[in-house]
Amino acid sequence: MDHDTRAAASRSAATEARRTLGRDGEELVRAYLENRGYEVVDTNWRCREGEIDLVAIDAGELVVVEVKTRRSLRFGRAVEAVTEEKHRRLRRLAGLWAAEHEVRARGVRVDVIGVEWAGERARIDHRKRVIL
């Protein structure tokens, strides 16, 4: 295997590892929310504008959830990865999702949930009503 082929294989393996980490984080967050009485009504909803990780109902409120998962704090806390631009996009996506689905809700909010793994244990940092 030449250098370019090895480099491409390494990038592919790293991409798959990130996807697996993200899926694991989203599954953990789904269980976390359901255990707290949220009704998860959609996962990984996509449109041409972007993707929503989880959509849930909490006490009659529509909640768009962005999940960020990290294995280390080298680049900061997981929740810190959500920028003002990402927040604006999530607000737009919430409106698009609501227009496409018939869900009655008394309001809409954006929550960001960070999952930080330390070995086999995960720390969950749930930030409700994020406004950037």
- Side chain identity at 53, as an amino acid letter? D
In 3D, which of 65, 102, 57 has the Cα closest to residue 82? Answer: 65
Most confident region among 51-60, 66-75, 95-104 by mean pLDDT: 51-60
| CATH code, residues 3-127 | 3.40.1350.10
Q: What pLDDT, on the 0 to 100 scale, is given for residue 9?
A: 43
Query: pTM for the full model?
Result: 0.82
Q: Which residues contact 59 (CB under 8 A, 6 or more apart)?
A: 37
pLDDT per residue as tens digits for the range 74-109: 778 888 888 899 999 999 999 999 999 988 889 999
Question: Hey, where are the domains in the chain?
Answer: 3-127
